[in-house]
Chains A and B, each alone.
Chain A
Amino acid sequence: MKTAQNVGIVGYGSYIPCYRIPARVIAQVWGNPGGVPIKEKAVAGPDEDTMTIGLEASRNALIRANIDPQKIGAVWVGSESHPYAVKPTSTIIAEAIGATPATTAADWQFACKAGSETVQAAIGFVGSGMVPYALGVGADTAQGRPGDALEYTAASGGAAYIIGSAEESLATVEASFSYVTDTPDFWRRPTTHYPSHGQRFTGEPAYFTHVLAAAEILMSELDYKAHDFAHVVLHQPNAKFPERAATTLGFEKSQWETGLLSPMVGNTYAGASLLGLTAILDIAKPGERVLCVSFGSGAGSDAFALQMTERISERQTVAPTTQAYINRRVEIDYATYTRYRQKLQMH
Chain B
Amino acid sequence: MSTQIARHWRLNSQRYQLVGEVCPNCSGKIFPPRDVCPHCADKERQPDYQFSGKGEVYSHSTVYKVPEGYEEAAPYTVALVKLDEGPLVTAQLTDVANEAVNIGMPVEMVTRKLKTQGDEGLIVYGYKFRPQMVAS
Contact = CB atoms under 8 A, between A and B. Distances in A.
A55 B123 contact: no
A319 B136 CA distance: 6
Contacts of B112: 45, 47-48, 52
A111 B113 CA distance: 24
B136 A52 contact: no
Contact of A52 (B12, B17, B92, B111): B111
Interface in A87-110: 92, 95-96, 98
8 contacts: A45-B94, A46-B113, A47-B112, A96-B17, A96-B125, A318-B135, A319-B135, A320-B133
A47 B113 contact: yes
B95 interface: yes
Nearest to A18: B95
Contacts of A84: 123
A321 interface: yes
Contacts of B82: none
A260 interface: no
List the 4 closest A-B pairs by CB distance, nearest first. Answer: A317-B136, A96-B16, A47-B112, A47-B113
B125 A52 contact: yes
| Chain B binding surface SS class | mixed
Contact of B123 (A49, A320, A321): A49
Nearest to B133: A320
B29 interface: no
Contacts of B110: 52, 56
B113 A52 contact: yes
Nearest to B74: A46
B72 interface: yes
A47 B94 contact: yes
A48 B12 CA distance: 18
Interface string B105-117: 0000011111000
Contacts of B101: none
Contacts of B89: none
B73 interface: yes
Nearest to B50: A98
Interface string A38-67: 000000011111011001100000000000
Contacts of B134: 320, 324
A48 B133 CA distance: 17
B136 A95 contact: no
Contact of A92 (B72, B92, B125, B136): B125
Interface in A293-322: 316-321
Given A47-B72, A316-B136, 19 more contacts: A18-B95, A46-B73, A46-B113, A47-B92, A47-B114, A47-B128, A49-B123, A52-B112, A52-B113, A92-B16, A92-B125, A95-B16, A98-B17, A317-B135, A320-B135, A324-B133, A324-B134, A324-B135, A324-B136
